[in-house]
Amino acid sequence: MTTPTQCRLIRILLLLCFLTQVLFFILAWTSTLPSLGTWLMRVVAKGLSQQEMQNLSSAERWLGVLTGLPVIISMAIGLWNLDRLLARLNQATMFSLQSIGRLRTFAGAISLSTVLSIIEPPVRTAAYLLLPGEHTGKFSVSVSTEELVLLLVCTVFYLVIGIMHEGRRLAEENEAFI
pLDDT digits (tens, 9 = 90+) for 120-172: 999 998 888 888 877 666 777 788 899 999 999 999 988 988 888 888 788 77
- What pLDDT does 137 receive? 65
pTM greater than the 0.75 cutoff: yes
Domain total for the chain?
1
pLDDT in tens, 44-69: 888 888 888 888 888 889 999 999 99
Amino acid type, 158: Y
CB 124 within 8 A of CB 60: no
Neighbours of 116 (CB within 10 A): 19
Domain housing 48: 3-177
Angle at the Cα of 112 from the Cα atoms of 32 and 47, rounded to 5 degrees: 40
Between residues 177 and 66, which one has the greater pLDDT?
66
Strand partners, 39: 36
If you compute the radius of gyration of the chain from its CA atoms, what whole number of angstroms results?
21
Q: Is 5 helix (H, G, I), strand (E, B) or coil?
A: helix
